[in-house]
Amino acid sequence: MKLLGLLQLALAIYAIVMIIQSSAETGAKVLWVLLVLIVPLIGLILWALLGPGSPLKR
> Structural domain tally of the chain?
1
Contact 42, 8 (CB under 8 A): no
pLDDT in tens, 28-55: 999 999 999 999 889 989 988 888 777 6
What is the four-CA torsion angle of 19, 25, 28, 30, rounded to 10 degrees? 70
Mean pLDDT estimate for the chain: 88
User: What are the backbone dihedrals phi and psi of residue 14, each rounded to the nearest 5 degrees, phi first?
Assistant: -60, -45
Residue 45 lies in a domain: yes
> CA–CA separation, 39 vs 25, rounded Å?
21
Residue 39 lies in a domain: yes
pLDDT at 50: 87
Contact 32, 26 (CB under 8 A): no
Query: Which of the two residues, 51 and 21, has the higher pLDDT score?
Result: 21
Domain residues for 26? 3-50
